[in-house]
Amino acid sequence: MITEVSTTRFETSLGWLSIRGTPRGILSVTFGVEEAAPQEQVFPFLEQCMHELEEYFSGNRRAFSVPLVMRGSDFQQRVWDALLEIPFGQTVTYGQLAKEVGHPGAARAVGTAVGDNPLAIIVPCHRVLPASGGIGEYASGSDRKEWLLRHEGVISRSAPV
């Protein structure tokens, strides 16, 4: 059971990010400003996460090392673990990800798990695309997904989406 949770926020090229964490690691990274409970301390992992995200946005980081506390069903955990294996600048389809987690034909269920990912950017759900083309949807907005894919060089900066 998690009892100590701290939240910090900072502004990025895509708007405000809220980071929630515990002494063990990061619980969530979400766009927008979440209501913060009064806190007596900011855990070191929050500072590390913020620093790593700043490096990512400035083009100086491609992978994250901050410890994560991922809470979800076994299926969600498998999907999120598979997302962590998608390298910077590369993408997979929902169908490919379904095969990767041992559930070929479960692309929709994988899509639901991807959409439930609480760790935006760090667990790179933006790197999953529909097989039909385009960039697909993104829980934090397709404009943010497009920006992230351009930032990682998946989409050329001048190409229309």
92 has pLDDT over 70: yes
How many C-beta atoms surround the C-beta of residue 102 within 10 A?
Answer: 10
Buried-state track 44-66, b at ≥16 Cβ within 10 A, e below 16: ebbebbbebbeebbeeeeeebeb
Q: What mean pLDDT do residues 124-144 have?
A: 94
129 contacts 20 by C-beta, under 8 angstroms: no
Q: What is the mean predicted confidence (pLDDT) over 3-22?
A: 91
pLDDT value, residue 49: 97
3-state secondary structure the chain: CCCCCEEEEEEECCEEEEEEEECCEEEEEEECCCCCCCCCCCCHHHHHHHHHHHHHHCCCCCCCCCCECCCCCHHHHHHHHHHCCCCCCCCEEHHHHHHHCCCCCCHHHHHHHHHCCCECCCCCHHHEECCCCCCCCCCCCHHHHHHHHHHCCCCCCCCCC
63 vs 42, more confident? 63
> Which residues are tagged catalytic?
125
Question: For residues 77 and 80, what is the distance between their CA atoms, to the nearest angstrom?
Answer: 5
Asked whether 33 and 18 are in contact (CB, 8 A), the reply is: yes
CA terminus-to-terminus distance, the chain: 43
> Would you call 79 exposed, middle or buried from its count of C-beta atoms within 10 A (0-12, 13-18, 19+)?
buried
Spell out the domains of the chain, with CATH numbers in brackets: 6-57 (no CATH), 74-151 (1.10.10.10)
**Over residues 78-106, mean pLDDT:** 97
User: What token pair was written down for 160?
Assistant: 């229309």
State pTM to two decimals. Answer: 0.91
Tell me the average pLDDT across 9-26.
Answer: 93
**pLDDT for 38 beyond 60:** no
